[in-house]
Amino acid sequence: MNRENPDYDNSPTLRTIPMPSDTNANGDIFGGWMLSQMDLAGSIIAVKTAKTRVATVGIEAMSFHKPVFVGDEVSFYCSIDRIGRTSITVYIESWARNRLSAKSQKVTEGKFTYVAIDENRKPVAVERQDG
Ligand SMILES: CC(C)(COP(=O)(O)OP(=O)(O)OC[C@H]1O[C@@H](n2cnc3c(N)ncnc32)[C@H](O)[C@@H]1OP(=O)(O)O)[C@@H](O)C(=O)NCCC(=O)NCCS
């Protein structure tokens, strides 16, 4: 994914603005808040693909590149990295923009894996689009 200059034609899966309650002890946005937003964004794609509920089973290749600040507009872009038998791995990039600036910068990226589950929380096979 190359989003050197993301614009409003590149629809994010999720876009939100962190609030003062989302800060860490330094006053920057807490990494756990970013992780939870990424998890939510990835789950939207995973549920859409699995057509059933999902549970997050793993996170890999997680990097925090730049700090995020209160009031930034943060956008989460997702793409499917891999579909296994019951799992779906979603690659997620987060981009932050100071609301008074035109320029966005990539702040985090990672791969989140979700497992398709049934009503008893047991893994179920993901229907493959390619048959
Ligand atoms: C998700 C859960 C139901 C899977 O059950 P399980 O018995 O581990 O299932 P399996 O061992 O059959 O693994 C299921 C799939 O997950 C994959 N998987 C398991 N652990 C993984 C990990 N740490 N990272 C990536 N993939 C993983 C397996 O490779 C398998 O993929 P595949 O079917 O596409 O080949 C169970 O682990 C669970 O309930 N975990 C807690 C989920 C949770 O509470 N998440 C946080 C809140 S959403």
* pLDDT single digits (tens) 63-109: 999 999 999 999 999 999 999 999 999 999 999 999 899 999 999 99
The C-alpha atoms of residue 92 and residue 127 are separated, in whole angstroms, by 22
pLDDT of residue 8: 44
pLDDT of residue 127: 85
Do 74 and 101 meet the contact criterion of CB atoms below 8 Å apart?
A: no
Q: Is the CB of 71 under 6 A from ligand 1?
A: no
Q: Is the CB of 118 under 6 A from ligand 1?
A: no
Alpha carbon 123 to chain centroid, angstroms: 22
Domain boundaries, the chain: 14-116
Does the predicted model carry a pTM greater than 0.95? no
- pLDDT confidence of 128, banded at 50, 70, 90? confident
Topology (CATH level 3) of domain 14-116: Thiol Ester Dehydrase; Chain A (3.10.129)
SS3 82: strand
Q: Is the CB of 124 under 6 A from ligand 1?
A: no
Do 114 and 55 meet the contact criterion of CB atoms below 8 Å apart?
A: yes
**Most ligand 1 atoms within 8 A of CB, residue of 81, 111, 115, 126 to mutate:** 115
